[in-house]
Structure 1
Amino acid sequence: MKFLDWYLKIAAVSALIGASMEMFMIKTGFYDKVTVLESEKRAWENSPEAQAVREALNPWRHLDPEETKKS
């Protein structure tokens, strides 16, 4: 327990920095912007266009499922 005061100082400074970063994100509206971006991303991922892109980019789409079960 030789360096307990040093560890406490580091923990206090780290907590202060973390709290200030959170306050900055709240004050600038960061969380509101992220919420909108995430909802737009989820809406696009569930769209038919996104499904078509996923199927087109899947290199194993032509493999027969029965063939893979036998292997």
Structure 2
Amino acid sequence: MDTTTPSIESLFAQLGLPNGQQHIDKFVEQHWLEASISLSDAPFWTDSQKHFIEESLREDGAWSEVIDELDSMLR
């Protein structure tokens, strides 16, 4: 059972990305998304990252709010 408290930092760690604030800021700067592209369809995700995002949103679980927050940050 995963007991990680969902946050932007822990989401980045879950996705296998550097999760320091400066890394998050840089990621957001470099990965803007058009409104017509869903977060899970963004071209910069690996297959496993895409799967995690899709599954988490489908389950509407603990990660979904943080994923929605990331989605907003990238717009």
Task: Determine if the TM-score, normalized by the shorter chain, exceeds 0.5.
Answer: no
Q: Which has the larger radius of gyration?
A: 1
More helix by share: 1
Taking structure 2 as the reference length, the TM-score comes to 0.22
Taking structure 1 as the reference length, the TM-score comes to 0.23
